[in-house]
Amino acid sequence: MEIRQQFAGMFEAARVYGNVGTSLVTEAADQLGLAKALAPMGAWLSADYDEYFANVYKQTSESTAHGEDSQKRGNVMDQCGMDGQETLGRTTAIAASCRV
């Protein structure tokens, strides 16, 4: 029973990793969209905004990379949990067949 609870914990952690990753990617896209909205206002032509836009692109790039990594980690954890449950099911069946 305890090992099945461990798998439930793995699935929950995988879900959280996926949600965090999705949030990071979404927030990065939103931030980039806000920065791009300044373009029609002529902000792109001002040297004062050069550092701002450079930072926005750096932050959104890093956030997107971290978010995608988190999503991949969640997928890997989810797959590990499924593989573990399958292995547990097989070993339980083998053990049951060995009982005389």
Tens-digit pLDDT profile for residues 7-31:
888 889 999 999 999 999 999 999 9
Q: Is residue 100 part of a domain?
A: no
Residue 100 has pLDDT above 80, yes or no: no
For the residues of 23-85, what is the DSSP string, one character each?
HHHHHHHHHHHHHHHTGGGTGGG-GGGHHHHHHHHHHHHHHHHHHHHHHHHHHHHHHHHHHHH
> Which tens digits make up the pLDDT trace of 32-62?
898 888 766 666 667 777 788 888 889 999 9
Q: Which residues contact 43 (CB under 8 A, 6 or more apart)?
A: 49
Token readout for 76 is 């890997």
Range(s) of the domain holding residue 29: 2-95
Q: Is residue 53 part of a domain?
A: yes
What is the reported pTM? Answer: 0.75
Answer positive or negative: Cα dihedral of 3, 8, 14, 17. negative
| pLDDT score of 36 | 81
Q: How many domains does the chain have?
A: 1
